[in-house]
Structure 1
């Protein structure tokens, strides 16, 4: 009778190990699926920050959460564009890609320059890190005082940013 109890405990132990291996493999598989769904040119994203890594999350362009638009995926980013490296593909087809990002901004939007995140203008009024987009024009233009230019020359875009006062 003692041997059958040991046999039962051994069987339970093996079942637990199989369950743990299944969980780890499934978890890694989901990570690869998420990587395969990396943003494409034209998509917009926002970033979830955990203190170590910034993870791009899908967003609808122009909405209150969307902070960046993907404007290139060949790694040849223009001046002032943010480079974000992400893995695209699954398994042996995966590759590290350098995405080029610009602010997903329109007149009236506010951004926290420290976080590179879109923020609610009313909630961040008067904060030194909060800037408001006062105009959007073609590259090479000028910004009215006190706005400062943020030019994406490669994308022929000029954002004029002023303190959110």
Structure 2
């Protein structure tokens, strides 16, 4: 929703008159969208009927300031995309905010230097055996701490075709 759409919604909510330049389809769309918004003290808010959250609608300049405050400011903490989005979305709204926050975090120089690195490791295929029972799977379920540290039971299960057994081992 570009700035003119937000202005149209605000104008419609203040006057309850639809712009005459719009087509019938656009007028219905504007009415549907306006039902999600309200005005309080000349400020536009968007509310969600499912959870009752009311969020202030921001223009582009305010959105940039909020992204800075919630991400780059010393109190923002350079949180990753998801945390930054959830912190901002709890109080503010603008159309396309998820994509803009993603781009903002991607452009953050400090996050690129010190952020979590994506590892692209090579995958190693597991060879398929042609003989039955050639390979046995072993799943470690849990490790119990006994009274003495020397006696630990390790529970594991192994599978042979349809047979599953639980065995306790002393280490």
Please state which band the TM-score falls in when normalised by the shorter chain: under 0.3
**TM norm structure 1:** 0.18
The structure whose residues are more often helix, as a share, is: 2
**TM norm structure 2:** 0.17
Task: Say which structure, 1 or 2, has more relative contact order (CA 8 Å, 6+ apart).
Answer: 1
Larger radius of gyration: 2
